[in-house]
Amino acid sequence: MAKTKALATGFLLFFLISGASAINFDANVEPDANHTAKFMEHTDNVTGLQTANMTVVNTGSVGCSYRLRTVFNTSEQAYSQKKALWPGASAFFEVNKYFSQNSSVSTNLYLQYCGKEKQIDNFNFTAQTAEKNTTQVNSTTLESNSEKVKASLPVEEGLLIPEESPPYWKVPSTEIINGTASIGLEAPIYDSEEELKFSVYNRTSGEIEARTTVSLKEPEPGKWKKRMMWLEENAIGLAADLVSLYLVVAGLLV
């Protein structure tokens, strides 16, 4: 009896742009998770932000979600956004980590896909001393759930780089666009009582310009919004009451 096997093949182009480097990686995603990889260059020196860019093309026949996980000195982690790719689709991924102290950093790169994880590279680099502003700016939570938190900040453009999050939560760096950031997240158990702490990075100056804490609690609605919510929830009942009243009045007039 003929057997069928699903085959998903991903081709990844990975760039480290804090220095001048690139990694070319071919991934054959099969049930037995076989991989082939070709590594070209890596960054030797970083001042401030370490950025990794990755373009993923799913050239196979199975849809799959992809994410990059980077581990620094066996303990510090950074994640890219997770994106689902159907066969033939492609997407751009970025992972960021800011280093403010002079140190030697060992790095391990992992690709997470289809519920699996595979190490794709490891190398060492030197981080130089960099400025890190500790000024606090407020954020306002607009929307929050187990997959995303949307917040507004008094910063028009920039990059939110995770500093502190609950253990085992996967929180990627996120662009601030027109004063708003939509932060994707993955939590083993979502808890709206938790908070996420970020550095606010200015891409133009190449420096951390502030820090912010993002609450997972949505703000309480104002009086007008509460009234509108009540009307929406009771619209059907109110309509039925109006119809009943109309029928009663019409009956009295006959």
> Per-residue pLDDT tens for 22-57?
444 455 555 432 323 333 345 678 888 887 777 777
Could you identify the residue written with the tokens 């990844």?
Answer: 12
What confidence tier does 250 reach under pLDDT thresholds 50, 70, 90? low
Cβ atoms of 170 and 130 closer than 8 Å: no
What confidence tier does 195 reach under pLDDT thresholds 50, 70, 90? very high
In terms of Cβ atoms closer than 10 Å to its own Cβ (0-12, 13-18, 19+), residue 80 is buried
**Total residue length of the chain:** 254
Indicate whether 145 pLDDT > 80.
Answer: yes
Quick: pLDDT tens for 169-179: 999 999 999 99
Cβ atoms of 113 and 65 closer than 8 Å: yes
What is the rounded average pLDDT of the residues 216-239? Answer: 63
* Class of the CATH-defined domain 8-128: mainly beta
User: Distances in Å between the alpha carbon of 199 and those of 56, 103, 173?
Assistant: 27, 20, 10
Could you identify the residue written with the tokens 């910063």?
Answer: 155
Phi, psi dihedral angles at 243 (to 5 degrees): -65, -45
User: Distances in Å between the alpha carbon of 243 and those of 45, 232, 235, 238?
Assistant: 75, 17, 12, 9
Who has greater pLDDT, 48 or 150?
150
What is the rounded average pLDDT of the residues 151-157? Answer: 94
Task: Give the pLDDT confidence score for residue 124 in this predicted structure.
Answer: 85
Quick: pLDDT tens for 120-134: 888 888 888 887 788
- Amino acid present at 168: Y
Strand residues in the chain grouped as ranges (E): 8-16, 21-29, 45-58, 64-72, 76-79, 83-85, 90-99, 103-113, 116-128, 140-144, 148-152, 157-164, 174-177, 180-184, 195-202, 207-215
**Domain map of the chain by residue range?**
8-128, 140-215, 225-249
In whole numbers, what is the pLDDT of the chain averaged over residues? Answer: 77
